[in-house]
Amino acid sequence: QSALTQPASVSGSPGQSITISCTGTSSDVGGYNYVSWYQQHPGKAPKLMIYDVSNRPSGVSNRFSGSKSGNTASLTISGLQAEDEADYYCSSYTSRITLVFGTGTKVTVV
Amino acid sequence: QVQLVQSGAEVKKPGASVKVSCKASGYTFTGYYMHWVRQAPGQGLEWMGRINPNSGGTNYAQKFQGRVTMSRDTSITTAYMELSRLTSDDTAVYFCASDIVKLPAANHELDNWGQGSLVTVSP
């Protein structure tokens, strides 16, 4: 199972919006709505930010939103803040009853 | 509150095995799949497999088939991941994480994570 494809890095200024893409296939992202996004700060465990494509767990800022079109999912961070600087990973359930992660995107707040 | 507390760092020789534990509290341990994910230094996340803590049933990523064993002890609400025939490529932080939905379903969306256990494989 190949990893989902994400851009290596995305940057933005405080207050701006950025979008991270996550491209898979019809056997994962395109075939199921079990697409999640995780935020990971250095040396920390990942934190679930979005599940079921577009749902936010309790406590996650509404500045984070998710969507999907075909085989590509997206995470948008609006009103970018310094604390949003981290690595972000998408993931998807697959037709083989496995979980596949994205390649990861480093978000930099410039 | 939900807590997953993992065992400490380990240093192993090539060819050896390692067993990492994950103590769960604050929720019904037998009610949610437990997944294991690893992250090599400077690399991304990699799913290793999952265990149904209620039945003990497991599903492993093809890459680890034959080398990984996931188990649990419901009496102490602890899950285990054992990896054998270690090589330097297995040097990584290993995480346990619980599924977001109740059994028998498994969305493979992970809402609670352990702190991670560093396993270093070195001669």
pLDDT in tens, B49-99: 999 999 999 999 999 999 999 999 999 999 999 999 999 999 999 999 999
Q: B30 in helix, strand or coil?
A: helix
- pLDDT tens for A29-50 read 999 999 999 999 999 999 999 9
Q: Report how far residue B72's alpha carbon sits from residue B30's, in angstroms, rounded to the nearest whole number.
A: 10
Confidence of residue B106 (pLDDT cuts 50, 70, 90): confident
Structural Rg of chain B based on CA atoms: 14
Q: How far is A17 from chain B (nearest CA, A)?
A: 24
Residue A1 has pLDDT above 80, yes or no: no
How near does any CA of chain A get to the CA of B103, in Å? 15
Chain A within 8 Å of B58 (Cβ-Cβ)?
no
Which residue among A57, A97, A103 sits closest to B59, beta carbon to beta carbon?
Answer: A97
Residue A28, SS3 per DSSP: coil
Residues of B in contact with A57 (CB under 8 A): 111
Q: Quickly state the pLDDT bin for B105 (edges 50, 70, 90).
A: confident
Chain A residues touching residue B50 (CB < 8 angstroms): 99
CA distance A27 to B23: 33
- The beta strands (E) that lie in chain A are given as 9-12, 18-23, 35-40, 47-50, 64-69, 72-77, 86-93, 99-101, 105-109
- A 10 A CB-CB count for A70 gives 10
> What is the band of A61 on the pLDDT scale with cuts at 50, 70, 90?
very high
Over chain A, what is the mean pLDDT?
97
* pLDDT at residue B119, as a whole number: 98
Check CB contact of B113 with chain A, cutoff 8 Å: yes
